[in-house]
Amino acid sequence: MAARKYFGTDGVRGRVGNELINPEFVLKLGWALGKVLSRDGRSKVVIGKDTRISGYMFESALEAGLVAAGADIMMLGPMPTPAVAYLTRTFHAQAGIVISASHNPYFDNGIKFFSSIGEKFPDKAELEIEAQIEKPMRTVEADQLGKATRVEDAAGRYIEFCKSTFSSGSDLRGMRIVVDCAHGATYHVAPAVFRELGAEVFTVGVEPDGLNINDDVGSTSPASLEAAVKLHRADIGIALDGDGDRLLMIDEQGDRVDGDELICVMAHEEHRLGTLAGGVVGTVMSNLGLEQSMAALGVPFVRAKVGDRYVIEQLKAKNWTLGGENSGHIIALNKTTTGDGIVAALQVVSAMLGSGKTLHELKAQMTKLPQILINVATRPGYQVGDDEAVQKVVAGLEKKLGDQGRILLRPSGTEPVVRVMVEGQQQDVIRQVGDELAGAVAAGVAQFVG
């Protein structure tokens, strides 16, 4: 498979105004998608976005490019990424587009695609789009131009879908829930889902202004949610990210429950009910405690590369349904086709109701090993795997840890950083190892000449 020039692990992403995330390139990107789809006849494309101020600009650019290629488009407005996946399927569109940089700050943005069945575009399709981008842009004849319509009931459709994934015959009456929408795409749908199921809902991060998405709120900054859970004496707190595909929760004692722990809760409940299909897929970043908890149940556990697309690939290859990342991307293929923070939260709540236990009690099913993650700024062209000095440091530190820990160095697919992860039995040891390794990577970056 040829290397991709423009696409990363989750579409095209970067700072607004750079060489890719600008109106001219996004116009061409929309046109290229339209041309690829037109090979099979006239196509229909669904477009949604999060609440970033730049979303309006890129929405217009994509609209122009797609229409120029002869594709019809359906504009959803601000909608979560998983909602776009769902609506792409239900509207029988040939593709779905999300304008979002997920958990990144407002000054970043990105474009990612879903196939007609609501799954991330495969590498082959992205390469076809990249090949089309290299060709001159030509507009179809006037009578072949695409048409654009706006979908007025998109939010209501998605709210009903989310509710349909909750245990039939159950409701949330008597529960107090705080929902943090990160001033992002779920601000107008997530609170409604839980209210309509009967919960008393308090909100955080539901006043987007185009600039405050993920700003000290949401799954990457849960301190505000922790305080709100304690203030309202809530049963749980639900933290979503800017585009709604990540989930972190806060238990009734105010403690954070990350993606690994939430996957563990879901797996234990499905195992108890006899509905767990096969095993569970994590990633190379998943805490060893999750693997150990699955082993105690006799449930197979495998690790994929980081990225929800790779988790889904493993799940489909094994015909399993549950997996995800410690960052909060949780995949429940028995419910939907992609990571969905609202749907995952509903499954955790269902486990609480089904077991009669609190979230704090349920997360105790997994003993999380100490793990640290340090992000080291990198520069274009630097490959940490090719840095012999860093690899020598890694070898020495792995020998020091022995079988009591593990090290992972991974270039981020969404940010210009190398992620340094160290996991082990003792917090002070892994902190020392992490700091030494991060220093070695930083020195390697500083010495690199591209």
Catalytic machinery residues = 102
Tell me the three-class secondary structure of the chain, residue by residue.
CCCCCCCECCEEEEECCCCCCCHHHHHHHHHHHHHHHHHHCCCEEEEEECCCCCHHHHHHHHHHHHHHCCCEEEEEEECCHHHHHHHHHHCCCCEEEEECCCCCCCCEEEEEEEECCCCECCHHHHHHHHHHHCCCCCCCCHHHCCCEEECCCHHHHHHHHHHHCCCCCCCCCCCEEEEECCCCCCCCCHHHHHHHCCCEEEEECCCCCCCCCCCCCCCCCCHHHHHHHHHCCCCEEEEECCCCCCEEEECCCCCEECHHHHHHHHHHHHHHHCCCCCCEEEECCCCHHHHHHHHHHCCCEEEECCCHHHHHHHHHHHCCCEEECCCCCEEECCCCCCCCHHHHHHHHHHHHHHHCCCHHHHHCCCCCCCEEEEEEECCCCCCHHHCHHHHHHHHHHHHHHHHHEEEEEEECCCCCEEEEEEEECCHHHHHHHHHHHHHHHHHHHHHCCC
What distance in Å separates the CA atoms of residue 199 and residue 346, rounded to the nearest whole number? 12
Strands 176-180 and 72-78, sheet pairing: unpaired
Q: In what side-by-side order are the strands of the sheet with 95-99?
A: 12-15, 108-115, 95-99, 44-49, 72-78, 148-150
Phi-psi region of 395 (alpha: psi -120 to 50; beta: other; left: phi over 0): alpha
Nearest in space to 327 (alpha carbons), one of 112, 119, 102, 86? 102
Strands 256-257 and 72-78, sheet pairing: unpaired
The amino acid occupying position 370 is P
Helices 81-90 and 341-355 cross at an angle (nearest 10°) of 100
